[in-house]
Amino acid sequence: MLTKIEEVPDSAPSVADTSTTEVIEQSRSMPNIYIDQIIAPANAENRKELYADLLTICQEEGVSIKALTDTEMSQLGTIRLQRWIDENRTAYRLESWDYQLEEPQQQPHCHFQLISSGRHVMIDAEGLTGINLNDNQPYEIAPLTNMDASLLLRSPARQDKISTGQLREVAGQPCVESTIADYEEAITCTWTGGVAWGFEPESDGIESVSDTHHYALFRSIVLQQDPAGNVLDKISTVTFNIGDKLDEAAMQPVPATASPAEQP
């Protein structure tokens, strides 16, 4: 049985403290939660521009061309973050898309290929499992760290984790606006509807979703982030469902949707 975590070990990455303190309200039954978000990293437009420039060069050279499809172009340079949460499990899939050129064979050509990278992780009482989407290789099952175990505790958030910013709605869910330290023009809106289950209604923002530890992706839920220029990731929430049946097949770790960025 999981026990309440008193504090995060000193060796853990720098994230919000999880020490026990007065709670906001009595815990109630945890509903199923599914969140689907699209993230535009700071370099997203740059990747699209580089692809367009290279395609133009290939056309001018008159070589054989296999361009990305319209669907692949819409994915290029973006990240999809999906999260599934129920009373006993926490899972997420973070998949980003880029492009590469297939290696020339006998004749020079410009055959573009969409590639995936990222991770699909499942955390439950048995441990942490998943698939590395960079090469589609599975993770060996690993025991839960204190930080991982804390993500399975559905206890209320801390009393001191209350924000006094402006309230509004994103994807039909309440969130509180705040600015991000060191990025005064950047605005983030953090979900306020999950306090009873431990989701803190405040966030320092997310500089890079791909580089963020999964603890930070679940301790507070950023529903929207509008960056200051090309510095931070832009975060948009497509779907936020509470109380619906979870898609078990989608929740389980599966390989990348495009060619893996690395060969195993």
Instruction: List, run by run, the mean pLDDT of 10-residue segments along the chain (264 residues).
Output: 36 35 51 97 90 94 92 95 95 96 77 95 93 93 87 75 80 93 85 92 89 91 88 94 97 94 72
In this predicted structure, what is the pLDDT of residue 15? 35
Residue 174: other Cβ atoms inside 10 A: 16
**Residue count of the chain:** 264
DSSP-based three-state secondary structure for 232? coil
In this predicted structure, what is the pLDDT of residue 161? 58
Which is nearest to 100 in space by CA: 47, 64, 150? 47
Which is nearest to 94 in space by CA: 209, 234, 232? 209
Phi-psi region at 136: left, alpha or beta (left = phi > 0; alpha = psi -120 to 50): left
Q: How far is Cα 32 from Cα 11, in angstroms, rounded to an integer?
A: 32
Q: How far is Cα 211 from Cα 207, in angstroms, rounded to an integer?
A: 8
Q: pTM for the whole thing? A: 0.84
In this predicted structure, what is the pLDDT of residue 6? 37
Domain locations in the chain as residue ranges: 33-260
Q: How far is Cα 27 from Cα 91, in angstroms, rounded to an integer?
A: 21
The amino acid at residue 194 is G
> Distances in Å between the alpha carbon of 127 and those of 2, 142, 149, 152, 188?
11, 5, 9, 11, 32
